[in-house]
Chains A and B, each alone.
Chain A
Amino acid sequence: DTGVSQDPRHKITKRGQNVTFRCDPISEHNRLYWYRQTLGQGPEFLTYFQNEAQLEKSRLLSNRFSAERPKGSFSTLEIQRTEQGDSAMYLCASSLAPGWANEKLFFGSGTQLSVL
């Protein structure tokens, strides 16, 4: 499978614990996005990278959230001191950019986080 892969598919954790998710984008894609989706809502932008550079982080995002893409390939999203409100589907997407004619996001299956 040469698509975007995310690991794990599901994560159940207790409030206050730290969790880390991994995303492996399509290999030639230089852009990588993290989104969060809750029931009945569209994907909410969290942050994105171009190669290893984190270009933007949502202002709505708590400082408990951090993301890295150290070698411009895979990325990790860490949530520290999880809260019940963090329960959501965390989606990763990648694309070839710049060049808006190429702008097409390829999504992974997501990591479903449940905070008890």
Chain B
Amino acid sequence: AQSVSQHNHHVILSEAASLELGCNYSYGGTVNLFWYVQYPGQHLQLLLKYFSGDPLVKGIKGFEAEFIKSKFSFNLRKPSVQWSDTAEYFCALNRDDKIIFGKGTRLHILP
């Protein structure tokens, strides 16, 4: 069963637009959630993570994500995107000691 669902497969925005990428998870245990990013030609790297405490977590490059337990969601946001944010974004969940990834959202920012 798919543990992590990313609904937007491909998003195109203009620079300075606001961004929200959806992520829903299905897991009954304690959740640890992540967003990873892969810039063109680069390795996957961690953008931000949630383990406990404040459900609003801030990551690198102005990104943030909010854990909403009642909605099983962990959406990624950025108030104003830049051309350099063009990348593929993966939501991930720690399940049974493994990191399970969603299918990813390809974000394309128009200059």
A-to-B contact residues, CB < 8 Å: 3-4, 33, 35, 40-45, 48, 55-56, 91, 93, 100-101, 103-109
Contact = CB atoms under 8 A, between A and B. Distances in A.
Report, as a range, how many residues of chain B touch the other chain: 20 to 34
Interface in B1-17: 4, 6, 9
Nearest to B6: A42
A44 B90 CA distance: 12
Contacts of A103: 32, 49, 94, 99
B101 A43 contact: yes
A4 B42 CA distance: 13
B104 A42 contact: yes
Interface of B: 4, 6, 9, 32, 36, 43-46, 49, 51, 90, 92, 94, 96-104
Contact of B98 (A45, A91, A106): A45
A45 B97 contact: no
Nearest to B99: A105
Contact of A105 (B44, B97, B103): B44
A110 B25 CA distance: 26
A45 B44 contact: no
A102 to B, nearest CB: 10
A57 to B, nearest CB: 11
A55 B97 contact: yes
A109 B40 CA distance: 12
A91 B44 contact: yes
Contacts of A56: 96-98
A40 B101 CA distance: 12
Contacts of A44: 101
A40 B98 contact: no
Nearest to B4: A42
Contacts of A3: 43
A8 B108 CA distance: 30
Contacts of A40: 9, 103-104
A66 B30 CA distance: 31
Contacts of B99: 33, 45, 103, 105
